[in-house]
Amino acid sequence: MKLKKFSPKIFIALFILLIHFIPFYILISVSFKRQMDLSSRWQFPNYIYWENFIIAMVKGDLIRALGNTLFITVASVSLIVIFGSMAAYPLARVASSFNRFVLAFILAVMMIPPLSVLVPLYKTMILLKGINSYWGIVLISVTYDLPIAIFLYSNFISTIPKELDEAAMIDGCSRLEAFYRIILPSLKPVTASVIILTGVYIWNDYSFQLYILQRKNMRTVTLAIASFFTENAANLNAGAAASLLVIIPPILLYLAMQKYFVKGITDGAVKG
């Protein structure tokens, strides 16, 4: 019986998978080691040290940080989905030079690095009294992540036949009713893509949250992890344990919506 030959593509895929798995292996290895264990980070310990997770939960106040991050992420992503889909609908349906300019401007905004606008944004939030407020960080998150949502939604909506809108309006629906009854239910794949892309970005955000959320009781998960690393000391093991805990929600989100994710990305970005 002849053994089936492996394609070179399989070896390449396994090699890429190994490269991506290495950081997670080191993260798990470090999170289960004692702080005084000076063995190689590549060497998995022959014991399980749960104290790192307790330190992460208590000293890092990780439960509160998870709650803060979850609230900010859910509120921001909900607004991004609502306003992004509504803004993309007329841009995709009305072919005009002004709408093409708006879409080009949205693409240009997506290219601006966040740190380049941090100083004027911080001064603006001081004037608006948005520092140390949930609505302030939600407003910033929605504003910065809205362009990619509009871009994906507009390209996806452009693939939906206009005859569906016209048939709904012939039956007595207004333009807004046609959007909510006909178009919005068809946006599940691209909505899953928007939720995953923007949700993971907001969940992992550090620069905006560092400057806007300065109170200890308003820390998010990234700020809680950063608290284990100071100028005088660092607890790498507890920081690794905290990191291991906070990556679980994004992984579960992706696993729950993965069947829509690829379809939404391809239909929303390629066909447009």
- Could you give the C-alpha distances from 91 to 181, 189, 218, 236, 272, in angstroms and in order? 18, 19, 37, 48, 12
CA distance 133 to 125: 10
pTM: 0.83
Q: Which residue has the tokens 């809108």?
A: 165
* Helix residue ranges, H only, the chain: 8-31, 51-58, 62-93, 97-110, 118-127, 134-157, 163-170, 175-178, 188-204, 207-212, 221-226, 236-246, 248-265
Q: For residue 159, give the amino acid letter.
A: T
pLDDT per position in the chain (272 positions), as tens? 454 566 777 888 888 888 888 888 888 888 888 878 777 778 788 878 888 888 888 887 888 999 999 999 999 999 999 999 999 988 888 878 888 888 888 888 888 888 888 888 889 999 999 899 999 999 999 999 999 999 889 888 888 888 777 787 777 777 777 888 888 888 888 888 898 889 989 999 988 998 899 888 888 999 988 888 876 677 888 888 888 888 888 888 878 777 666 555 555 444 44
What lies within 8 Å, CB to CB, of 213 at 6+ separation is 68, 132, 137, 219, 220, 223
Give me 114's structure tokens. 């966040």
Give me 119's structure tokens. 């100083």
Give me 166's structure tokens. 């016209």
Q: Which residues pair with 234 in a beta bridge?
A: 229
- CATH code that applies to domain 61-270: 1.10.3720.10
Question: Quick check: 203 and 69 in contact, CB under 8 A?
Answer: yes
The structural domains of the chain, with segments of one domain joined by +, span 1-49, 61-270
Give me 176's structure tokens. 């807004």
